[in-house]
Amino acid sequence: MSLVDIKRADRRLIMLRALAEEPDYSLSDIVLRGLLAEFGHDVALDAVRADLDWLAGRELVTLGEAGSAVVATITARGVDVSAGRILIEGVRRPRPGE
């Protein structure tokens, strides 16, 4: 696995975990981008949207629109992945106690 793949998998887990912690299980791509920067992943909005599209393609999130923003909502399957109950190649597995 390349460094780019490792970073991408980490970003995806961070996004899923953030969504799972929200009361309505949803966040915009803009908020997710800011959150990722807090975790050391200062990436373009296009990269966040590409990751969200990837997650949606695996039925881990659903995507909607609010103006010019993309809003992601985690699915039950996505919650399972965020907790490490289901392993998906391309999403980092959470470490014990994480």
Instruction: Output the DSSP codes for 16-70.
Output: HHHHHHSTTSEEEHHHHHHHHHHTT----HHHHHHHHHHHHHTTSEEEEEETTEE
Structure pTM?
0.95
Domains of the chain: 3-82 (1.10.10.10)
Q: How far apart are CA 86 and CA 80, in angstroms?
A: 6
DSSP annotation of 65: E
pLDDT per residue rounded down to tens, the chain (98 residues)? 899 999 999 999 999 999 999 999 999 999 999 999 999 999 999 999 999 999 999 999 999 999 999 999 999 999 999 999 999 999 999 998 77
Extract the tokens encoding 85.
Answer: 């109950």
